[in-house]
Structure 1
Amino acid sequence: MKCYRPISAVKDDFIIIHTNGVHSVGLDFCGCELAEQTSQQLLRVHWFPASSDKPRTAASFAVLKQFHLLSFESKVSTYEFYNALMRMLDQVGKLECKV
């Protein structure tokens, strides 16, 4: 459905952590009277919000599953996993490898 009262998220600088890297995207939440909370709207598109109140960052369910598997199988730490995702980006914030 199309929202006729969109609310911009964080000045169009929302951070998404996904399996192919960390991305800054423009995002609008539904601002209608009957709209769900912003965190619930993110969960509906399979993005887990970093905070429940005014989220500015979210991780995709796919990257959470990937981290879950790697942390059990290879004992990778959260820090190492995040750094590996960041290395997928070059110095100007674009993907080096095509996925």
Structure 2
Amino acid sequence: MDQNKSEEFYARLLDQLKESTTWPSNYLYKFIVLSDPEKIDQIQKIFDNTGAVIESKKSKKGKYTSVSVTVNLKSPEEVIAKYKEVGKVEGVISL
């Protein structure tokens, strides 16, 4: 995703989160990544010390892993910040 599109996406998401959710609130992130333990570990480290519940499940053939993270956050800005952090992990797809 190019920089402009990603900023537009995050601005739209921020507005939607402000309108649809009362904060603080639990938020569910879903990511898809190649089944590389190092990449999965990088995602988990981003949510260290947040009280997040992290579940991962390999695809049928084992090539990909879905990572679901449920975490209580104080604001929609925190949601966006975590998306941007995880976005730095190579090959991660955010759902």
Q: Which has the higher contact order (CA 8 A, sep 6+)?
A: 2
TM-score where L is the length of structure 2: 0.29
Greater helix content: 2
Q: Indicate the structure (1 or 2) with the bigger Cα radius of gyration.
A: 1
Greater strand content: 2
